[in-house]
Chains A and B, each alone.
Chain A
Amino acid sequence: MTKQNNSDEERIILEDIESRLSSFGKDRWNLIPILQMIQTRHHYLPADAIRMVANYLDIAACEVYGVATFYNQFRFNPPGKHPIQVCLGTACHVSGGDIILENFERKLGIREGETTEDREFSLERVACVGCCALAPVAVVDKIVHGRMAPSKVEGLLLGFQIEKEKQERAKRSDESNL
């Protein structure tokens, strides 16, 4: 995705937020409801949105930032095409969930909470997805993968890469057929 596309996308998001702000009061206790509205609609909090909310409530931007970083539900990066969630609940933690997370981080070159530059993958840690018997667990594209291991991390990412290459090849051959 190009830079131009990104900023267009962000502009649309900001316009949407701006149009909805007026339905909230200007008291500071509206901060969390507003952030939740943005997170629900757009799946992350763009930097300019934080400033916009701060101005609307007449509080410091760093205060909004402080509140938003406290809660795990708020993200600061746009979600990737394939969201990856690594469970670090109790059962996954004791069976090495952190190793799985570290594996994803290293293979994708991003930290937990971030999105790859091509916007293909985003990575986050979650606390228990409810199938502790399968620990350690990762959820990729809403599909649960149990008994994760470093080799499985590699396998999953390789699968996506092959799929992507296949699609690109199909697209190219479609174009040459036209």
Chain B
Amino acid sequence: MITLTIDNREITAKEGATLLQVCLDHDIYIPHLCYLEGMEHAAASCRLCFVEIEGVAGPVTSCTTIVKEGMVVKTDTEVVRHLQRASLQLLLSVHHVDCAHCPANRKCALQDMAKFLKVGLKPKYLEQHLKEPEIDQGHPYLDYYPNRCVLCGRCVLVCKNSHDRPFLTFAKRGLDTVISFYEEDRAEMPCDECLACVEICPVSALMKRKVG
């Protein structure tokens, strides 16, 4: 066990734990999207979980930082909040903000974080970039909404954890990046029974197709 200071609180943590996990375990909320408990290599792709550490130049992502003895961490500084707001606003600029018609309404990770960071859901200074089509029904059992998706990659990760040969992947790149499956895998898909990706999605971008 090691001791560190987070937001002026003395905290003991297990050696080798990530800073983000230690904070979450002690009810210190840090906004995050792409991190999953127990993941081996955090992707740090959502750029939300920044913290400042005394003696380290610039903010760092807490999901990729391993706790050290005597670390002094601040999670609520001006610089950190500025970065988090910018990341969230960029995510919202490619998100179809249509909460009233969205099944994730009120249990949505984006809404929670916007409230926490005091960010409007429609960023004023950024253009909206939406993808087409609004809904992708290529998958035999699932509907995918690219404009709800924030590309956190949790679904890809749980798919990889639940199946030797996963069925979900990122496809294309840049602003065109989507979560995709491979058309030719269709016949072997166990997705109607698994649904791990649907459950993990923080924004209801993957939904089980309603039959009839």
Show the binding face of A for B, using Cβ within 8 Å: 47, 50-51, 59-66, 69-70
Contacts and interface: CB of A to CB of B under 8 A. Distances in A.
19 contacts: A47-B184, A50-B182, A60-B165, A60-B169, A60-B185, A61-B182, A61-B184, A61-B185, A62-B167, A62-B180, A62-B181, A62-B182, A63-B166, A64-B182, A65-B180, A66-B169, A66-B170, A66-B180, A70-B173
A60 B164 CA distance: 8
B168 interface: yes
A61 B185 CA distance: 7
A54 B172 CA distance: 18
B166 A65 contact: no
A64 to B, nearest CB: 8
Among B165, B167, B170, B182, the most chain A Cβ lie within 10 Å of the Cβ of B182
B136 to A, nearest CB: 14
A67 to B, nearest CB: 8
Contacts of B185: 60-62
Contacts of B165: 59-61
B117 interface: no
Contact of B166 (A47, A50, A60): A60
A50 B180 CA distance: 15
B184 A51 contact: yes
Contacts of A66: 169-171, 180
B141 to A, nearest CB: 15
Contacts of B181: 62
Interface in B166-193: 166-173, 180-185
A3 to B, nearest CB: 18
Contact of B184 (A50, A59, A69, A70): A50
Contacts of B163: 60
Contacts of A64: 182
B167 A60 contact: yes
A50 B184 CA distance: 9
Interface string B153-167: 000000000010111
Which of the listed residues B168, B173, B181, B184 has the most CB atoms from chain A within 10 Å of its own CB?
A: B184
B104 to A, nearest CB: 25
A65 B172 contact: no
A132 B87 CA distance: 35
B77 to A, nearest CB: 36
Contacts of A61: 165, 182, 184-185
A158 B165 CA distance: 48
A170 to B, nearest CB: 41
Contacts of A69: 171-173, 180
A69 B181 CA distance: 12
Interface in B35-65: none
Nearest to A47: B184
B172 A70 contact: yes
Given A60-B167, A65-B180, A69-B172, 14 more contacts: A47-B184, A50-B184, A51-B184, A59-B165, A60-B163, A60-B165, A61-B184, A65-B169, A65-B182, A66-B169, A69-B180, A70-B170, A70-B171, A70-B173
A50 B185 CA distance: 11
